[in-house]
Amino acid sequence: MKMFLVMTLFGVLGLSKQEAPQPAPPRFGELSRDDIARLDRQRAVIAAEAKHRYGIPALRRDASDLEVLQRLIDDKAFAKTQTYELQSLGVAFGDVLASELPLRWVMVTDEYGTDPTLRLKKTSLQINALTMISQRVERGDRVDLDQLLRMTREYVRRFSKTGTM
């Protein structure tokens, strides 16, 4: 039952879990200028769509963005096949998570490659905000950002308390 709960949380939150046997543990690094520019380009995609559709002048990178991000999702602003744009929504949502929780953007290198992720302080816990929305939309699942924020907050709280997933 405990393993099912862990697996369910990983699926729901888009968390990364290391599986045995593991070739090497993930390596975390700071964002380079290019990495920051990449994330900023993705933020700009979402900001431009929000401005075009709803007249929103700018995203604030905090919880006040949840409403507009949810609206973009609910209005199906991006098709299932628009992975880059959907992952850009993930970047914008990741900014909200980083403003609400003790998470920050870093680069992670693991067996899947090198990508931006949100990391809890200096721990191994990473939240893959980049794909958190895109995977759900591509599967046809309903995306509730308020619920994802609540679940992520609870998961981070538990991990911070126990140090385990």
Encode pLDDT of 32-63 as tens digits.
Answer: 999 999 999 999 999 999 999 999 999 999 99
Convert the pLDDT of each residue in 61-70 to its tens digit: 999 999 999 9
Angle among Cα 75, 81, 84 to the nearest 5 degrees reads 85
Instruction: For the chain, list the domains and their CATH numbers.
Output: 25-153 (1.20.120.1090)
pLDDT at 22 over 90: no
Kindly state the helix (H) or strand (E) to which residue 109 belongs, with its residue range. Answer: strand 103-110
The residues facing 27 across adjacent strands are: 109
| Over residues 9-26, mean pLDDT | 60
pLDDT value, residue 13: 58
